[in-house]
Amino acid sequence: MVKELKAMGIELMVSVWPTVDKTSENYDEMRHKGYLVRTDRGIATTMDYLGNTVFYDPTNPDARKYVWNKIKRNYYDKGIKIFWLDEAEPEYSVYDYDLYRYYAGTDMQIGNIYPVMYAKTFFDGMQSEGQENIINLTRCAWIGSQRYGALVWSGDIYSSFDVLRCQLSAGLNMGLAGIPWWTTDIGGFHGGNPEDEDFRELVIRWFQFGAFCPVFRIHGDREPHSAPLGNKGGGLCVSGAANEIWSYGDQAYEIFKKYIVLRKKMGPYISKIMAEAHEKGTPVIRPVFYDFPQDKQCWNVSDEYMFGPSMLVAPVLYANERKRKVYLPLGSQWKNLENGELFDGGSRIECDAPIDVIPVFLRDGASI
């Protein structure tokens, strides 16, 4: 199957959780060797989702090697070269942090490094196989995660315009913290029925925002759910409703297609700004004050951002909004990407934002 998908130009990614079920063939060995998170008291179960499970301890270098060898034998050697590192916080069923103990110390002392060491488990293993340009999708990050090829998404967020507004702040802060590879579940993860017109509007606006993020991807657990696919392992999960670009009606499909084509056209520009992020640590998306620190007005702008140095993006962040105000920074000339209209910087304008348009402005003669 992996070879067949590669022949179609599709790279298969496998989702991995850091949980070890107590019925697993690996559980007893990992417990005796100290490869699992320990509890100072009570029952040694750290998560009870889809079974009684315990997180592996990535602060233990031997545990990292053990887990990677399992991954290598069962996935990597079969052609899987990219992984989805879910549950990376990790998400304890009971948040009594004084209970849990790692190889490197107590959870209260060093718990925040878990996602870093989780990413390192895979990065070190893939690097030892000679792989270059390593990248893995992960649900959580901490200082230093970027060293280990972490492509961070903002987690299992709710589907609403309130949460969409939070994503803009989260992405800008992540970039300024030194982690440029960042993305969201377009449309949010929890909730949303593709047949609901209000939700369709949210997905369209989120999709437009996603086209101007470091990584452009749609994902979510849509309503209504169907029955579980099986009675073991991952088959215990219920399956969400359809979430493909053609699942939201003809109007949404045409808008999605418009921004997929635009994203494709931006490929050389995106490659350039991603290379700058790799070489210099330059955020891919950043607050407007990053590129215009001398313009005092830019320090008060929180609802628009720069996508690289040449594109200003003003996402539509509220339901039923068809116009929005945009501040264009001083010292540059700006061209509306949609209609070619030119504006001098240092001005606040009101621009049209019909359902098929996210306001984007090109700086000083830039083009796609």
Of 80, 145, 100, 98, nearest in space to 118 by CA:
145
Q: Determine the Cα angle at 169 with ends 122 and 252, to 5°.
A: 85
Catalytic residue among 40, 48, 62, 89: 89
Catalytic residue among 4, 25, 28, 86: 86
Say if residue 90 is preceded by a cis peptide, omega within 30 of 0. yes
Is position 89 annotated as part of the catalytic site? Answer: yes
Q: Determine the Cα angle at 82 with ends 264 and 206, to 5°.
A: 45
Is position 304 annotated as part of the catalytic site? Answer: no
Q: How many CB atoms lie within 10 A of CB 136?
A: 22
Is position 156 annotated as part of the catalytic site? Answer: yes
Four-CA torsion 305, 311, 312, 318, nearest 10 degrees = -80
Say if residue 224 is preceded by a cis peptide, omega within 30 of 0. yes
Burial classification of residue 21, based on how many CB atoms lie within 10 Å of its CB (0-12 exposed, 13-18 middle, 19 or more buried): middle
Q: How many CB atoms lie within 10 A of CB 205?
A: 24
**Residue 97: both structure tokens together:** 């942090």
- 182: Cβ–Cβ under 8 A, 6 or more apart, which residues? 151, 152, 153, 154, 170, 171, 174, 175, 213, 214, 215, 284, 285
CA dist., res. 162 & res. 159, Å (int): 8
Catalytic residue among 21, 156, 276, 338: 156
CA dist., res. 246 & res. 242, Å (int): 9
Active site residues: 86, 89, 156
